[in-house]
Amino acid sequence: MTMPAITRRRSAALRHRATLRRRTLAATLLASMLATPITAFAQDAMMGTVLDEPGSAGLGFAFRAESSPYVDGDTRDDFLPLYLYEGERFFLRANEAGVRMWRNDTMGLEGFVERRLEGYPEDEAPTSLEGMTVRNTGADLGVRFYFQHDASRWDAAVRHDVAGLSHGTEVRAGYAYTIERERWRLQPVAIASWRSGDLNDYYYGVAPFEARDDRPAYDAGDGWNATLALYGKYRIFQHWSLVGGAYVTKLSSEITNSPVVDDDVQWGVMAGAAYDFGNGQVRWDDDTSPTYVKVFYGRDTGDGCHLVRIMTLQCVSLNDDDPTDIYGVHVGRPFVSKFNGWPLDIIGYVGLLRHDEKGLQPDGWQLDAYMKGFWYGFPWSHRVTTRVGFGIGVSYAERVPYSEVTTQAERERNTSKLLNYLEPSIDVSVGDLFGNKRWHDVYFGFAVSHRSGIFATSQLLGTVDGGSNYLYAYLEAAF
């Protein structure tokens, strides 16, 4: 790339970052998971029942449709990836990640961080909101107490904005009743939600500088919402289940009196499927299970060298114009060994990745969490164990990587810190290659670190169309 071209690309990146800094006052993208906050309590109850056994993990998807409270907002469609884990201490649900701080047979206390999908996507604002500062996804930090008695469950939760957007607080209290049979489960839910004035005003208020003749300034106060919901699950095969639900919410007068809101009732439906890996033959938290440690180093790929082309060996070129590197460590524990008796292991990974931006922007950390399947049933594996792997999960970047900032700026598209994560790989046993049995569980291989927004289909992922690809080499060992 010539120096003028580099200068133009960097200038575009700087302009884009300046725009992002201005929008950060209203649209910082952060942390963890699902649904509109009005119904997130109900989603908590439903998502907590998708997995059947402690120690289970699952993957799935759901399609959502919900009415928008905004004038001219119409019905919004959304694709929701489901990442699920219910461990002894930690859990990952479609809308949140958290830790169990205390529990016994009937009650418990949980801390969590939750993705707040309220407002509207940056590139899909209704006409009634033209000229207003973007109100987009954020994140809440919260604590929840629950009490379970037979089929009844009572919940009380407090959460507060930690994305620096609304600085608002929400308190929810709810009741859920579970009706369960051999193959299906229904869960009616009732919720009362108090929302602070800061929270309501951020999403539904109109600042003086945003006012116009048909949109007067409005300062929303605190108020109560009420929600009725019904969620369910139907097991169609041993591990596959259909999931779905519907809700209706009566919005408080502090919201409905806003000039940008046109209805006092909001509804939504969702339907999808989930695969429950079960707790398998090996448990994540079993002390006898091996721990996999992977260290790696890589570089971003060249223009046009996307994931499908890399996986089909049509392109393995690296970025030589304004390259950026990654390095890090991922730690994994097996969920399932020899799945269904096949030469297939399912391993769950979490880890840190560091972006070396080569002075193009400040370096940053990235947190990855994903499930990965390894197939090793090749005819030659009795001589040299060879594994082909594919992982899927989520990736949260402290700072949007430079490669994403520049490519998205060139396409005039938005970015997100939280994206979907895919990782195809291939590796071989170092011990088998060199005839050393002690190194049999040491693997050398190549993989792709891929972040994407699933073609702008998911509000959970910031409605991003695009992402990044890094090709890296790694060593992995089981201990």
Looking at residue 465, what is its pLDDT? 85
Q: Which residues touch 167 (CB under 8 Å, ≥6 apart)?
A: 161, 198, 202
Final residue in a domain of this structure, among 249, 278, 307: 278
**Do 226 and 192 meet the contact criterion of CB atoms below 8 Å apart?**
yes
Tens of pLDDT, residues 39-65: 344 455 555 567 766 667 788 888 989
Q: What is the CATH number of the domain that holds 268?
A: 2.40.160.40
The DSSP symbol for 457 reads T
Q: Residue 5: is its pLDDT beyond 60?
A: no
Instruction: State how far the Cα of 406 lies from the Cα of 311, in Å rounded to an integer.
Output: 24
- In the block, residue with structure tokens 């999960």: 393
- Looking at 234, 258, 278, which one is the last position of a domain? 278
Q: Say if 175 falls within a structural domain.
A: yes
Among 71-85, 310-324, 462-476, top mean pLDDT goes to 462-476
Q: How many domains are contained in the chain? A: 2
Tell whether pTM > 0.85: no
**Whole-number pLDDT of residue 450:** 95
Structural domain includes residue 26: no
344/227 same-domain check? no
pLDDT digits (tens, 9 = 90+) for 188-243: 999 999 999 999 999 999 999 999 999 999 999 999 999 999 999 999 988 899 99
Confidence at residue 324, expressed as pLDDT on a 0 to 100 scale: 96
Q: Is residue 189 part of a domain?
A: yes
CATH number of the domain where residue 345 is located: 2.40.160.20
Same-domain check for residues 297 and 441: yes
- 269 and 339 inside one domain: no
What's the confidence (pLDDT) of residue 25?
30
The answer to the question of residue 24 being in a domain is no
pLDDT at 304 over 50: yes
DSSP secondary structure code for residue 133 in this structure: P
Q: For position 282, what pLDDT does the model report?
A: 45
In tens, the pLDDT along 235-248 reads 998 889 999 999 99
In-domain check, residue 55: yes
Q: What is the pLDDT of residue 22?
A: 35
Residues 321 and 448 both lie in one domain: yes
User: What is the DSSP code string of 346-388?
Assistant: EEEEEEEEEEE-TTSS--EEEEEEEEEEEE---TTTTTS-EEE
20 in a structural domain: no
Kindly state whether residues 180 and 241 are assigned to the same domain. Answer: yes
Q: What is the pLDDT of residues 381-424, one digit of tens each?
A: 889 999 999 999 999 999 999 999 998 888 888 888 989 999 99
Same domain, 208 and 337: no
234 and 326 fall within a common domain = no
pLDDT at position 127 is 82
Q: Are residues 448 and 334 in the same domain?
A: yes
Contact predicate 321/4, CB 8 Å: no
User: 265 with 296, same domain?
Assistant: no
More reliable by pLDDT, 138 or 346: 346
Mean pLDDT over each residue of the chain, to the nearest integer? 84
Domain co-membership, 272 together with 343: no
200 with 254, same domain: the answer is yes
The whole-angstrom separation of Cα 139 and Cα 115 is 5
Q: What is the pLDDT of residue 97?
A: 86
In this structure, how many other beta carbons lie within 10 angstroms of the beta carbon of residue 241?
Answer: 24
Q: Which domain holds residue 213?
A: 31-278
Q: What's the pLDDT score for residue 10?
A: 39
Of 278, 310, 330, the one marking the end of a domain is 278
**Is 378 exposed, middle or buried (CB count within 10 Å of its CB: 0-12, 13-18, 19+)?**
middle
Which pLDDT band, with edges at 50, 70 and 90, does 310 fall under? Answer: confident
* CB 335, CB 277: distance < 8 Å: yes
Domain assignment present for 25: no
Q: Are residues 8 and 56 in the same domain?
A: no
Average pLDDT over every residue of 367-371 = 93
* Residue 118 pLDDT exceeds 70: yes
**Reduced to 3 states, what is the DSSP secondary structure of residue 411?**
coil
